Structure 1
């Protein structure tokens, strides 16, 4: 295996790890907020259904945290093993956010343990709810700090480059790079959105399987409302991201939009195919790319022809962008129709086919997260550290990366299948109806 093969397998293994980790990391960031909101609503309304929703979500959240820890550790290991030249060059700069991410996780884990083992130990449930605040903050801050590392790779700053060495390093300045605000906001908000739609999908699936319990209906309604709020917020963050790319990474925006020649009033291109450099069968929205990039319909958008060919990202990222945007718009539409339908008492939203649309929203939201990350990482190519170090110069020259890839594939299969089996058995052995009955029996015993 030559050096080119080592680079290829290093990229495949890193992409596999990130793709697997992002599923558990996303729900790990978003679920604590969903738990906190459900418990707060339950306390406020004195509704046992929402309290139970918080309890059951917490149990599932623990499993996702456990798997997320393993895959997160694998990412840290692979940074050093697969990308040693990158870590040697930039390690001192990104060490601070990496350390702070670990601190945020420990902060989350400590309070999560306390929260788990103090259910029913507080007479005032509001005090128990307070324990969840640091859990939610810690989970979100973990996402913030690790995303800062990714933002630095897209917009490196906070150092001087002299003879191939980074000197005069300012880690704080490096953290607050131009890419940080939009990337952090987009990642955190999409984690909340995805978690809401995943939980709504689970509730809708239980309704489809024959359960007509009010618990599931309340869970779906609450999560679809939250899904609507965060999906709209995601669209807003996406608009800000487009304006960031237009200013700082115009080659990524141009590649994602198949925008080859600089022009004013540039159209937004969705779908289509490339035939000898010509875009065919695409949906073109007039002036929309200029609005996305600069907020003005007549603004000029830089085309790919202005960049060296060896610095142009792979053009297939256009389809990743299309997939992400299409799913995002679809989720907003379904959530909006559902929430409006509940308030207006539209009968069709309680039909099986509409419940299937809600169920489909869960995996689609996860797919949108995946395509968004692939777009971000592949769209930065050929750079691992934009403008400073190319990916091919950052990778290991080890000849055993292909073996590592097989070993990690086996690990992820075990973790993925194992976590799903554990979650299914956990909730199948503790159905909602039985758990509510047990809770009522406990309360009756306390009164007597």
Structure 2
């Protein structure tokens, strides 16, 4: 295997691992907050359905955490095995956030264990609910620290380069780089949004299957309302991300928007295809790119003509940007219609065709998360550490990467199928109606 092959397989394996891990990581960050909100409402309203929601979500959440540990460990392993030159250069800079991420995860896992095994040990449910705060905080901080590493790769700072080595490292300056605020905020808020819409899809699916139980209706309304809130917040953060890119990574913004010539009054290009070097069938919105980049319709936006061809990101990231934005806007609209319709009594939001749209929203939001990550990673190419090291310089020269790719692909296939099988069995054996009846019998008819 030549060096070019090693680079190719290293990139494919890293992309496969990140693409698989991001599903579990997103659910892992978002679901603890949903559990906390459900339990808080249940205690506040003395409503057994919300209490049971929290309990069942927590049970399923443990499975995703377990798989997330395996895939997260794989990423750490692959950083050293596949990108040894990058780790040699930047390892001492990213060591602190990587360690802090591990610490945040263990912090979350310890309190999650205590929370799960003390469900019926507390007379006062509020005290039990407080255990969820470190779980939710630990999950979000885990995302915070690992995203800082990615932000550093996009906007490296906090060091000097002497003889090809990073020296005089200032870890805090490196961590709090210009990419950090928008990237961290976008990752965490979209995780909350995705978790809400995935849980909404499950509730809508149960209702489509004929379950008219009030439990599922409450679950659907709660998750769609939370999904709407977080989708609107993520759209605002996306706007800030555009302004960050215009300032610090203009080549990434230009490639994502197919903005080839530096110009004022820059239009925004949506959709379209590239044919013989020309953009066809696109929707062009006048002045919109200048507004996105600088909040001014007449401002100049830097185009790809300002960058060498070998430092231009692949142009297909335009499609990834469109997928991410379109799904985000669609889910914001769908959830807004559902919430507004629930308030004023529209009957069609309970119809089968509308419930199917909500079910479809679950995988769609996962797809949007994937497209966003691919956009973030591919849009940085050809750099692994922007401005300092190119991806091909960072990769291993080992001839075994293709074998590693097959082994890890097999592992992820087993883990993915295993997750679905275990979750299906877990909830099939314990339907909602049975659990509610058991709780009433066990508690003498009252909820503590």
Query: SS where residue 272 of structure 2 aligns?
Result: strand
What SS class does the counterpart of residue 301 from structure 1 fall into? coil
Match of 1:88 in 2: 88
TM-score calculated relative to the size of structure 2? 0.99
SS state of the match for residue 298, structure 2? coil
Q: Distance in 2 between matches of 1:225 and 1:20?
A: 27
How many Å separate the matches in 2 of 1:259 and 1:419? 42
Match of 1:290 in 2: 290
Note the C-alpha offset of 1:445: 7.2
Residue of structure 1 equivalent to 2:238? 238
Aligned match of 2:391: 391
- Output one character per residue of 1:19-47: Cα deviation in whole Å (capped at 9) or x when no partner: 00000000000000000000000000000
Deviation at 1:261, TM superposition (A): 0.2
Q: Measure the CA separation in 2 of the matches of 1:417 and 1:208.
A: 24
**SS of match in other structure, 1:367:** helix
Matched residue, 2:345? 345
Q: String of CA shifts for 1:354-385, please: whole Å, max 9, x gaps.
A: 00011011000000000000000000000000
Give the aligned partner of residue 308 of structure 1.
Answer: 308
Cα separation, 2, equivalents of 1:24 and 1:239: 26
- Distance, in Å, in 2 between the alignment partners of 1:237 and 1:55 is 32
1:269 partner SS: strand
Match of 1:55 in 2: 55
Superposition map of 1:19-168 within 5 A:
19-168=19-168
State how 1:163-178 maps to structure 2 within 5 Å.
163-178=163-178
Structure 2 counterpart SS, 1:397: coil
Q: Distance in 1 between matches of 2:6 and 2:212?
A: 54
Shift of 1:122: 1.0
- 2:329 matched to which residue of 1? 329
Deviation at 1:444, TM superposition (A): 1.4
Report the alpha carbon displacement of residue 249 of structure 1 after superposing the two structures with TM.
Answer: 0.2
CA–CA distance in 2 between the matches of 1:179 and 1:205? 38
TM-superposed CA distance for 1:219, in Å, is 0.1
User: Quick one: distance in 2 between partners of 1:367 and 1:344?
Assistant: 32
Q: Distance in 1 between matches of 2:414 and 2:19?
A: 15
SS in 1 for 2:281: strand
Residue by residue over 1:82-106, the C-alpha shift from the partner in whole angstroms, topping out at 9 and shown as x without a partner, is 0000000000000000000000011
Q: Does 1:189 align with 2:192?
A: no
Match of 2:12 in 1: 12
What is aligned with 2:419? 419
Partners in 1 of 2:445 and 2:159 — Cα distance?
66
Match of 1:376 in 2: 376
Measure the CA separation in 2 of the matches of 1:154 and 1:276: 31
- Which stretches of structure 1, 4 residues or more, deviate above 4 A after TM superposition? none
Cα deviations by residue, 1:32-69 (Å, 9 ceiling, x for unpaired): 00000000000000000000000000001000000000
Q: Secondary structure in 2 aligned to 1:25?
A: helix
- Which residue is equivalent to 1:274? 274
1:206 is aligned to 2:195: no
Instruction: Report the counterpart of residue 436 of structure 2 in structure 1.
Output: 436
Q: Deviation per CA, 1:186-213, whole angstroms, max 9, x where unpaired? A: 0000000000000000000000001000
SS in 2 for 1:279: strand
Q: CA deviation at 1:163?
A: 1.4
The aligned length equals 447
1:276 CA displacement: 2.1
Question: Unaligned regions of 5+ residues in structure 1, if any?
Answer: none
CA gap 1:446/1:189 in 2 versus in 1, 3 angstroms: closer
Is the CA contact 2:199–2:223 (under 8 Å) kept in the aligned structure 1? yes
Q: Does structure 1 retain, via aligned residues, the 8 Å contact 2:440–2:446?
A: no
SS of equivalent residue, structure 2 residue 443: helix
1:404, 1:422 → 2: CA distance? 27
Structure 2: which 5+ runs fail to align?
A: none
